[in-house]
Copies of this chain bind each other. A is one copy, B any other.
Amino acid sequence: MFSPSSRPSLASDAPIGIFDSGIGGLTVAHAMAQAMPGESLLYFGDTAHMPYGDRSPELVRTYSVRIAQYLREEGCKAIVIACNSASAAATDAVREVAGEDIPVMDVVQPVVEYLAERGVARVGVIGTRATVGSGIYGRSLAEARARREGDAASLHPTVEWPTPLLAPLIEEGWHDHALMEPVIASYLTAAGWLGDGMGAIDALVLGCTHYPLADEVFRRVVGPHVELVDGPGIVAKAVSKALDSRGLRRSDSLPRHQFLVSDLTENFKRSAERFFGEEIPLQPGGPWFKG
């Protein structure tokens, strides 16, 4: 445990805190473990309150703030919001809790910067109802383009489309089920990107940490000419760079990972391995834990 008593006050060997409404954020945690193999991770999945994607922004903010307080108390040197819905609703609130010492990164801004940097013109975003309802990708991308290019910035609006069933389907292990492809096709057709709309977007942002598990199905559905934007990989690189720039990267190589959830069921145990890509010990714990 990274208990407050042993809190290393933001020494580089402190863990990186990372949270999600459930286990989807493990795709981000895994990308981070690969990009920064020496770093310790303290992952918290709020399985008692998931899915954030169907909740009101106020409620997502309440939960996120409580989790950020917890990660701060546990001595984390940085906080990664590994959930698009929480990134949309709660990044500012989490920054306030974290204070100036503890950098806070979300999963939206790195992807937006990546798209702006590469000048991708026509972007489609899919995500939960909470994420899409916030309009965060379109707004942030327009701002990032304006900062980089001024008046020359792309005039293409970013189209955001809610695909609320994809996270439950993937959580159930249906990411490679025969029915996953028609479900995805049904959504992308409704969004105007398939059928008559084929060719309408240059890149598709998988704006939910669950979606990369179904990337092969997405690839089949959208064809070879649409870039699938790899959120977890891009976020992991951005976190690594941010820690580097603050001198917070760990130099030795003895990481200790902790994976905590607010409600532990057999199903979460089974699914966690699928999301992280290898077996991990999920434990009950976190801010609401009275064990």
Contacts from A to B (Cβ < 8 Å): 48-50, 54-56, 59, 129, 164-165, 168-169, 172, 174, 177, 179, 182-183, 186, 263-265, 267
Contacts and interface: CB of A to CB of B under 8 A. Distances in A.
A174 B165 CA distance: 10
A48 B55 contact: yes
Q: How would you classify the secondary structure of chain A's contact residues: helix, strand, loop or mixed?
A: loop
A265 B52 CA distance: 12
Contacts of A182: 179, 182
Contact of A172 (B164, B172, B267): B164
As for how many copies of this chain the complex holds, the number is 2
A54 B165 contact: no
A56 B263 contact: yes
Contacts of A168: 164-165, 168
Contact of A54 (B54, B169, B186, B267): B267
Nearest to A130: B265
Given A165-B174, A168-B168, A265 B183 contact: no
B48 A59 contact: yes
Contacts of A164: 168, 172
